[in-house]
Structure 1
Amino acid sequence: MAALSAAAKLEPGDRAKWRWQKSAGSFMAGSGAGMISTTILQPFEVVKTHMQARDCPGGHSIRGAVRVISERDGVTGFWRGTGAACVRVGLGAGLYFAMLGPVLSTLQTIYTSGQSSGVSMHDKLPVAITMSAGSLTRLLASAMTCPITVVKTRMEYAAASGLNYTGTASALLAIKRTEGISGLYSGMVPTLLRDAPYSGLYLMLYNRIRYSLKDHFDPNNIPHTYINFVSGALAGSSATFFTHPPDVVRTRMQLERSQSTGIVSTVRQIVQVEGVKGLFSGVLPRIGRRGLQQAVSWTIFEEISGWVNHRL
């Protein structure tokens, strides 16, 4: 709040410059945090993608997916699509964190009828504001990065599907050439149905868990990095479970291309063939990856943004 109070005393021109610098700092912090956590945890995503594919050679179990990947591609197979994943998450996380502050402030101003001068994630915020801000910000970021999401998913399953992409750029051009622009946005609706509720739920849980831990533990004995890490892990795991079915639908639509005509037909096909449990294929590796990714990303983001803001 000290930074916000100082900003309020600046002249309009200087205040605009300060906000731009803060957004740029948030973009770099979020982008860096996202790429680091993505690289470390990519094996979870590759296993999850294989489990969600309709014709996965190893079946829909973790053990089967791990066996097929390791036998076919060796250890490096678990990092397939890392380049595309880093581009997507780096860009998506950067945009998300850069937009989150302004969106939070705007919603807080509306919520308080114009009486708020600023707000940050370090404040204890109303549930309506955190859920709305998280959902709206992620909705915008996910829509902007959907083509990279399609490329990432295809590359993670490339060997099993018989496709041969030499890199992120070649995959992007190949999809555009064979399927048109619409191919780069396949599965966008289920992606938004997954990401918007997930981020709204995550931001609300993270904010509440963080403050609950601070209330129950002496901050002099428990490092704030520990509180941020645990808050991110718990919030990420919980939000992931409740929003997993749209992720299964998204993966099927992006892998099978013309075989599915839409969300409803894809859901119907999954339930008819695999039962309701099919909508939770790959939930365990996704919870593991998302929980750890959010813990690592938000901990790194809090540290980097704190360092950047201290110098603004």
Structure 2
Amino acid sequence: MLPDDLMQHQTFTMMVESYIGSPLVKSFLAGSFSGTCSTIIFQPLDLVKTRLQSPVAVGHKPSGILTVITTVVKNEKILGLWKGVAPSLSRTVPSIGVYFSCLHWLRNNYGSSDPHPLESVSMGVSARTVAGISMLPFTVVKTRYESGQFHYRGVLQAVVSIYKGEGLRGLFSGMSATLLRDAPFSGLYLMFYTQAKKSVKNNDERTRGTSLVVVTP
């Protein structure tokens, strides 16, 4: 999750700096693009994590990471490691776009130019909560795809099937656990990310200032 989020923030920053237009639209597009890149790159790790967390049949030993990877490649070929990438993209692309858009809106309306750590935490938690709840049905579909225990013809068919069989409760199953995991992480991550950028910037300014003093006759 950490390298995934780090890549999203770095790609988002690069996109924002190179795009001119509505700030809110810019945040959504940059976030969506960063989500696309990170999802495609880290999908195999996400699939392995889901398989490791799936229930183990009686009489079978729990599998390790390498065992899961070799089993998937053997039975489903190399592209099997990217199984579930379609529902992952349908969830992550708009979700990260919504997250960064909410973050931009919160910073503009309630944030300060020099955010306090607690301010960063609260904004990260709030933005992730909105994104998490709005995209939860696709998170449920993604997890079921990756588990290998469900067989759907497509994302839309999966959503309809879950709704018909389990209702809205099925589409939003695991909401509390998901928010308890993702919201605090996003809040703490944003705090450390913001403080680290501030520290690096201040250090660079001090270094440049020292260099000017040294070379000035």
Which TM-score tier does this pair reach, normalised by the shorter chain?
Answer: 0.7 to 0.9
Aligned residue among 143, 167, 170 for 2:154: 167
> How many angstroms apart in 2 are the aligned matches of 1:220 and 1:28?
35
Judge conservation of contact 1:42–1:82 (CA < 8 Å) in 2.
Answer: yes
Corresponding residue for residue 131 of structure 1: 121
1:105-120 matched pairs, under 5 angstroms: 105-108=108-111, 119=112
Aligned residue among 152, 176, 179 for 2:163: 176
Corresponding residue for residue 248 of structure 1: none
User: Bigger relative contact order, structure 1 or 2, given CA contacts below 8 A and separation 6+?
Assistant: 1
Corresponding residue for residue 9 of structure 2: none
Residues 1:43 and 1:219: Cα distance change in structure 2 (over 3 Å): farther
Q: Note if 1:140 corresponds to 2:130.
A: yes
> How many angstroms apart in 2 are the aligned matches of 1:49 and 1:209?
31
Corresponding residue for residue 29 of structure 2: 28
> How many angstroms apart in 1 are the aligned matches of 2:72 and 2:103?
37
Judge conservation of contact 1:58–1:67 (CA < 8 Å) in 2.
Answer: no
Judge conservation of contact 1:104–1:130 (CA < 8 Å) in 2.
Answer: no
Compute the displacement of 1:213 (Å): 2.5
Aligned residue among 197, 201, 218 for 2:184: 197
Which SS does the other structure have where 1:54 is aligned?
coil
Compute the displacement of 1:218 (Å): 7.1
Q: Note if 1:215 corresponds to 2:202.
A: yes
Query: Which residue type is aligned with residue 89 of structure 1?
Result: T
Which SS does the other structure have where 2:22 is aligned?
helix
Compute the displacement of 1:22 (Å): 1.1
1:222-237 matched pairs, under 5 angstroms: none
> How many angstroms apart in 2 are the aligned matches of 1:208 and 1:183?
39
Aligned residue among 54, 63, 81 for 2:84: 81
Q: Deviations over 1:212-263 (max 9, x none)?
A: 2333457999xxxxxxxxxxxxxxxxxxxxxxxxxxxxxxxxxxxxxxxxxx
Corresponding residue for residue 227 of structure 1: none
Aligned residue among 119, 134, 153 for 2:143: 153
The Cα RMSD (Å) is: 2.2
Which region of structure 1 is more displaced relative to structure 2, 51-60 or 203-212? 51-60
Compute the displacement of 1:60 (Å): 4.2
Residues 1:69 and 1:128: Cα distance change in structure 2 (over 3 Å): same
> How many angstroms apart in 2 are the aligned matches of 1:104 and 1:132?
11
Compute the displacement of 1:185 (Å): 0.6
Residues 1:23 and 1:183: Cα distance change in structure 2 (over 3 Å): same
Corresponding residue for residue 63 of structure 1: 66
Residues 1:133 and 1:73: Cα distance change in structure 2 (over 3 Å): same
Judge conservation of contact 1:58–1:65 (CA < 8 Å) in 2.
Answer: no
Provide TM-score, normalisation by structure 2. Answer: 0.79
Query: Could you list the runs of 5+ residues in structure 2 that have no partner in the other structure?
Result: 1-20, 209-217
Query: Aligned pairs, how many?
Result: 186
> How many angstroms apart in 1 are the aligned matches of 2:73 and 2:199?
42
Judge conservation of contact 1:43–1:78 (CA < 8 Å) in 2.
Answer: yes
Which region of structure 1 is more displaced relative to structure 2, 130-139 or 32-41? 32-41
Query: Could you list the runs of 5+ residues in structure 1 that have no partner in the other structure?
Result: 1-19, 109-118, 222-312
Which region of structure 1 is more displaced relative to structure 2, 67-76 or 126-135? 67-76
Query: Which residue type is aligned with residue 211 of structure 1?
Result: K
